[in-house]
Structure 1
Amino acid sequence: MRLTAHTDYGLRVLMSLAVMEGRVVTIEELAERHGISRNHLMKVALTLVNLGFVKSIRGRGGGLTLAQMPGSLQMGHVVRSLESDVELVACLGSGQCNCVFHGACKLTGALGRAVEAFFAELDRLTLADLVADPCRMRERLAVLA
């Protein structure tokens, strides 16, 4: 299983905003600090705003801030919200499955349990857990405290 770049960038944005708490952070600043396209980050930010994870402040001095406390953002919920397709194989989905072994093999159940375990582990983590060492995180972002 591989997370999309959209989800990866979304998680990076959330972690960045968490360690730069109390600041309004621009897309331009995030793009520069992470070496990510501004246009791509704009799409990611819009998704995060629409999901209610981030607030957008318009106008001069505007940018992004967290919409929720880091301790209340469960990473499993965030990843489920950002990922459109977490089905490892077609038979895990709700659509048409054209596998000849559908319903006869044990792979579907095993993969389903693996996906559940993946999200169970993420559900144990909050954004606050991911940024438990904010000084080191800010250092990596080259942000002065």
Structure 2
Amino acid sequence: MRLTRQTNHAIRMLMYCAMRGEKLSRVAEIALAYSVSELFLFKILQPLVEAGFVETVRGRNGGIRLRKPAEAITLRAVVEATEENFSLAECFEPGGSDCPLIGNCGLNGALHEALEAFLEVLAGYTIADLVADKSAMSLRLGFAPPESRLVASL
């Protein structure tokens, strides 16, 4: 199974927000960090809000931040919220195939089992797991790592 670009960047948006903690993140800065268009990220934002992963704050100093703790957002939940189709073959889709073996074919069962195994592995990982190395990630995303912010405030 190949995840869509939308799901890939949805996970990356959540990672960015997790790195920022309670601070608001602007879509423009996330777009810059990942070299994607703001318009594309705004499109992705809607399913993340609807799923309760992020909240938006309007206004001049607004932005987005995680609504749930990063530890509570599994990759499976994000994939299920952002992927439109889990069809691994055309026989997964209702009316999508004229194969005479539908209903009697072992391939369909094997693919369903493989899909469930894939989703179960994703259920074992959270956004927090993906941002465990905050120092290196902060540098790559273009903001100061948590340690340097702490030192700067002393």
Q: TM-score range, shorter-chain basis? A: over 0.9
Tell me the C-alpha RMSD between the 2 structures: 1.2
Report the equivalent of 1:47. 47
- For 1:54 and 1:12, the matched residues in 2 are separated by 13
Give the residue type in structure 1 aligned to 2:56.
Answer: S
CA distance in 1, matches of 2:47, 2:116: 24
Unaligned runs of 5+ in 2: 146-154
Percent identical residues: 36
- CA distance in structure 2 between the partners assigned to 1:72 and 1:138 by the alignment: 21
Q: Which residue of 1 aligns with 2:110?
A: 110
Distance 2:99 2:17 in 1: 44
What letter corresponds to residue 30 of structure 1 in structure 2?
I
Match of 1:27 in 2: 27
Cα distance, 1:84 vs structure 2: 1.1
Counterparts of 2:22 and 2:135, CA distance in 1: 15
Give distance in 1, aligned partners of 2:71 and 2:103: 41
On the 8 A contact 2:48/2:81 being kept in 1, the answer is no
Shift of 1:78: 1.3
| TM-score, length basis structure 2 | 0.88
Q: How much does 1:143 deviate?
A: 1.1
1:114-136: CA deviation from partner (whole Å, max 9, x where unpaired) = 10110010011111111111111
Alignment of 1:1-145 (within 5 A): 1-93=1-93, 95-96=94-95, 97-145=97-145
Question: 1:5 corresponds to which letter in structure 2?
Answer: R
Q: Give the whole-Å Cα distance in 2 for the aligned partners of 1:124 and 1:27.
A: 28
Large movers: runs of 4+ above 6 Å: none
Distance 2:44 2:139 in 1: 23
Match of 1:29, as an amino acid? E
User: 2:69 is aligned with what amino acid?
Assistant: M
Q: CA deviation at 1:10?
A: 0.4
Tell me the amino acid that sits aligned with residue 74 of structure 2: Q
Which amino acid counterpart does residue 106 of structure 2 have in structure 1?
K
Q: Is the 8 A contact 2:74 2:123 kept in 1?
A: yes
